[in-house]
Chain A
Amino acid sequence: MAIRAEGTRSGADVWKRNSRGRELRERVVKILLMACAYLSIFTTVGIVIVLFEETSRFFLKVSPVEFLTSTQWAPPQGEFGVLPLVYGTLMATVIAIAVALPVGLLTAIYLSEYAPRNLRRWLKPALEILAGVPTVVYGYFALTFITPFFRDSLFSGIESFNAISAGLIMGVMIIPTIASVSEDAIYAVPLSLREGAYALGATRRETATRIVVPAALSGIAAAVILGISRAIGETMIVTIAMGAQANFGGSPLQGMQAMTAYIVQVVGGETPRGSITYESIFAVGSALFLMTLTLNLASYWFVRRYRETY
């Protein structure tokens, strides 16, 4: 580099005197970069303002008590009790976590404690691809493959739109999230803890399940909370495979509507701005935002806790 530079440019070209212009440029650049970073604050403020504005208009027409406690959801009839939508969302989420927690955690244990190094280098990216599959694709798979499969094998009475197929596939979608965040936590457990366990005569499984996993528990909790948050916010799988009929207290084999699916259903039709239906999607959005915000902050808290331990 130095030799080539010497040949092509003389020292006089490279050297620059400190100038006021240079100082000015430094200051302008810093302000521009700062603006980029502050944009994230504006994004959050924007979300809060937009949601709050329309939601407050909604609550002028529908009482918050009715919204939060009524079990009737029928917008055309003016019935706005959000619980049936929350029920649909939670049903899909519980099924998804029932799949993703065991599979994701065992995958993380495999990746960190069992997998040979070479295999690990291939398996982790493969899981990332699983996380990168568009959710409409998962929705299609749940609707056209999983549901017919269940109808032919286990549950003959299953409806074409149902919570169990949507939930199961959503679980598959979340496996990479839970696996990768838990693996980070498990990997961070100091080697000395494992060596201590081996020295006391523990087997590999005993070390993994009794020493390493408990030591990483708070990171694993963060992973699970993050997974729950993703499941609650997931939209296309539940829209495509779980249906558009609010159903409070329905069984997993029946169709039901999730909060996110309601938003998509409304924007799909021509809904004029200012109508109560238009405002209702923001009210549902606010509830969704508060649920995921709480979970995300809880997850953040757990992650920091385990980072501080070691």
Chain B
Amino acid sequence: MVRDSTKVERQEGGVGGPDFKASMSVRYGLDRAFTVLVTAAALVGLVVLALLLADVVRDGSSMLSLEFLTSFPSQVFPENGGIYPALIGSLWLLALTGLISVPLGLGAAVYLEEYAQDTRINRVIEINISNLAGVPSVIYGLLGLGIFVELLAPVTGGGSVLTGALTLSLLILPVIIVATREALRAIPGSIREGGYALGATRWEVIWSHLLPMALPGALTGIILALSRAVGEAAPILVVGVSLYQTYTTAGPFDGYMALPTQIYDWISRPQQVFQDSAAAGIVVAMVVLLVANSFAIWLRNRYQQRS
């Protein structure tokens, strides 16, 4: 504001200063051009997404079939290869990561939103969580390698699917915590006061009212976070996902393959048939993720309309 007024003083002698354009037609022309520009910018992302989908469907269509979903990948007959063990491995990762990260994330969010006072340690936790959300996923891989693969090998079985799930859980915890906290914050204080007035304890109010009310909002964050976890390749590559195995994962201490790393393995082979397999694998992964994400977003829209 101060700067503006000095500018005006400086330009007192002139006819409005260099910034002022008297011609309305020029100004409106620029306005129209700018409208086109911002609209085009907003469409760039969508155009790329459409191109990308068209590209992978075109490349992958030759490999896509029901057998692709139910076969093992093959070095000898790559045309008959499939993603079955990777699909099963990713399902294991999804289930274990959900089982580990959801209770921990909900718990941390409830503590920070409903219990924590504004003390220094709690502020540190808050800054720490927002920083953890920005730590590169490959660093979580290194953490998992140091802790779960090496240090806790007797518990986790080294490079098992449990190790992968633990690593991915730490990766997505910040996202779940932030989403749940926002959902809890949106609940009016009168609900809590009503509960206390009836003699309920803090936990009884949380369990009977706050958690059920926060669930739709939290669920959106949880689904988005889990779909991100399933799409991650870098951290599980570091903690020892198998790029090839002859069995499917049957327990938490087994080795595992996963969709994104299977796709990566195919991409890194030069033969065309593997490139096409990669594209087909991408189509499968994208269908799953688009369905999950759309459901999450639908859930949030519904929830936002009500509140």
Q: Which residue of B30, B142, B232, B301 contacts A134 across the interface (Cβ within 8 Å)?
A: B232
Given contacts A134-B233, A144-B275, contact A47 B263 (CB under 8 A): no
Q: Which residue of A114, A129, A139, A229 contacts B293 across the interface (Cβ within 8 Å)?
A: A129
**Is B268 part of the binding interface, using a Cβ–Cβ cutoff of 8 Å?**
yes
User: How many contacts A-B (CB < 8 Å)?
Assistant: 270
**Is A43 part of the binding interface, using a Cβ–Cβ cutoff of 8 Å?**
yes
Query: Interface centre among A29, A204, A208, A232, by most B CB within 10 Å?
Result: A29
Which of the 9-residue segments A2-10, A61-69, A72-80, A233-241 touches chain B? A233-241
Q: Please measure, in the bound complex, the distance between the C-alpha atom of A299 and the C-alpha atom of B143, giving whole angstroms.
A: 24
Given contacts A115-B42, A289-B139, contact A260 B27 (CB under 8 A): no
A260 touches B45 (CB 8 A): no
B130 touches A296 (CB 8 A): yes
B203 touches A29 (CB 8 A): yes
A34 / chain B contacts, CB cutoff of 8 Å: 111, 115
A204 touches B31 (CB 8 A): yes
A106 touches B139 (CB 8 A): no
Contact with A along B264-294 (1 / 0, CB 8 A): 1001100000010011001001100110011
A132 touches B231 (CB 8 A): yes
Least Cβ–Cβ distance between B90 and chain A, in angstroms: 11
A44 touches B42 (CB 8 A): no
**Is B150 part of the binding interface, using a Cβ–Cβ cutoff of 8 Å?**
yes
**Is B104 part of the binding interface, using a Cβ–Cβ cutoff of 8 Å?**
yes
A229 touches B268 (CB 8 A): no
Given contacts A40-B132, A144-B55, contact A128 B267 (CB under 8 A): no
Residue of B with least CB distance to A244 = B268
Least Cβ–Cβ distance between B125 and chain A, in angstroms: 6
B201 touches A33 (CB 8 A): no
**Is B255 part of the binding interface, using a Cβ–Cβ cutoff of 8 Å?**
no
B59 / chain A contacts, CB cutoff of 8 Å: 144
Q: Which residue of A107, A121, A239 contacts B38 across the interface (Cβ within 8 Å)?
A: A107
A205 touches B142 (CB 8 A): no
B132 touches A107 (CB 8 A): no
Q: Within residues 217 to 276 of chain B, which ones have a CB less than 8 A from any CB in chain A?
A: 224, 227-228, 231-234, 237-238, 240, 243, 260-261, 263-264, 267-268, 275
Q: Which residue of B131, B140, B231, B286 contacts A135 across the interface (Cβ within 8 Å)?
A: B231
Which of the 9-residue segments A48-56, A90-98, A150-158, A249-257 touches chain B? A48-56
B232 / chain A contacts, CB cutoff of 8 Å: 134-135
Total B residues in contact with A, Cβ cutoff 8 Å: 91
**Is B15 part of the binding interface, using a Cβ–Cβ cutoff of 8 Å?**
no
Which of the 9-residue segments B46-54, B62-70, B75-83, B184-192 touches chain A? B46-54
Given contacts A25-B203, A103-B44, A226-B134, contact A205 B124 (CB under 8 A): no
B233 touches A288 (CB 8 A): no
Q: Please measure, in the bound complex, the distance between the C-alpha atom of A137 and the C-alpha atom of B201, giving whole angstroms.
A: 49
What interface size band does chain A fall in?
A: 35 or more
B130 touches A300 (CB 8 A): yes
B124 / chain A contacts, CB cutoff of 8 Å: 41
Q: Which residue of B39, B142, B228 contacts A51 across the interface (Cβ within 8 Å)?
A: B142
**Is A302 part of the binding interface, using a Cβ–Cβ cutoff of 8 Å?**
no
B201 touches A26 (CB 8 A): yes
Residue of A with least CB distance to B46 = A126
Least Cβ–Cβ distance between A129 and chain B, in angstroms: 5
Contact with A along B84-116 (1 / 0, CB 8 A): 000000000000000000011111101110011
B173 touches A140 (CB 8 A): no
B146 touches A289 (CB 8 A): no
Q: Which residue of A123, A230, A260 contacts B138 across the interface (Cβ within 8 Å)?
A: A260
Q: Within residues 6 to 41 of chain B, which ones have a CB less than 8 A from any CB in chain A?
A: 27-28, 30-31, 34-35, 37-39, 41
Given contacts A50-B146, A144-B55, A300-B127, contact A43 B173 (CB under 8 A): yes
Q: Which residue of A49, A129, A281, A299 contacts B290 across the interface (Cβ within 8 Å)?
A: A129
In the complex, 27 of the A-B residue pairs with CB atoms within 8 angstroms, ordered by the A residue number, are: A18-B199, A30-B111, A32-B107, A37-B107, A37-B108, A37-B111, A46-B147, A50-B142, A51-B146, A53-B146, A102-B41, A103-B45, A110-B38, A113-B38, A114-B39, A115-B42, A129-B290, A129-B294, A129-B297, A135-B233, A204-B35, A205-B30, A263-B238, A264-B237, A285-B138, A289-B135, A292-B135
Known interface pairs A36-B104, A133-B286, A232-B136; 6 further A-B residue pairs with C-beta atoms within 8 A, sorted by A's residue number: A36-B105, A53-B146, A107-B42, A134-B260, A135-B234, A267-B237
